[in-house]
Amino acid sequence: AQTVTQSQPEMSVQEAETVTLSCTYDTSESDYYLFWYKQPPSRQMILVIRQEAYKQQNATENRFSVNFQKAAKSFSLKISDSQLGDAAMYFCAYRRNNAGNNRKLIWGLGTSLAVNP
């Protein structure tokens, strides 16, 4: 069965600095998707970035980028120029690219990120 592990329950970063959140996963599949979601205090889950496993190029969305290491099954999130609004719980998630219609996500337990002014 697939699993997702986030080994850092809590992280903190100074405003304007860079922080990296770790995520590892376990799967026997070769074709899958990986996601980072952000959950601010409002608790609405917001997609930050996604990565297709077949793409070697790391995904980037403005200040957010990933370091995808397929062989190591690692998918870390880098937040550059951290802002106070980045403070949130961050979840890593996995989904296999199956032929069926179901789109179940496997979730990590999350990393709580604090941004210090």
Partner 1 sequence: SQTIHQWPATLVQPVGSPLSLECTVEGTSNPNLYWYRQAAGRGLQLLFYSVGIGQISSEVPQNLSASRPQDRQFILSSKKLLLSDSGFYLCAWSVSGVNTEAFFGQGTRLTVV
CB of 34 to partner 1, least distance (A): 10
Site for partner 1 in 5-44 (CB under 8 A): 33, 35, 42-44
Tokens 């062989």 -> residue: 71
CB of 11 to partner 1, least distance (A): 15
Angle, alpha carbons 67-41-75 (nearest 5°): 10
CB of 12 to partner 1, least distance (A): 17
Q: Around Cβ 62, how many Cβ atoms within 10 Å? A: 10
- Measuring CA to CA, which residue among 60, 53, 18 is closest to residue 33? 53
CA distances to 95, 108, 109 from 3, in Å: 10, 8, 11
Question: Among 45, 55, 81, 83, which residue sits at the site for partner 1 (rule: CB under 8 A)?
Answer: 45
CB of 36 to partner 1, least distance (A): 10
Q: Is 108 in the site for partner 1 (CB under 8 A)?
A: yes
At residue 103, what is the residue type? R
Q: Is 64 in the site for partner 1 (CB under 8 A)?
A: no
Q: Is 79 in the site for partner 1 (CB under 8 A)?
A: no
* Integer Cα distance of 3 and 85 in angstroms: 29
Q: Is 47 in the site for partner 1 (CB under 8 A)?
A: yes
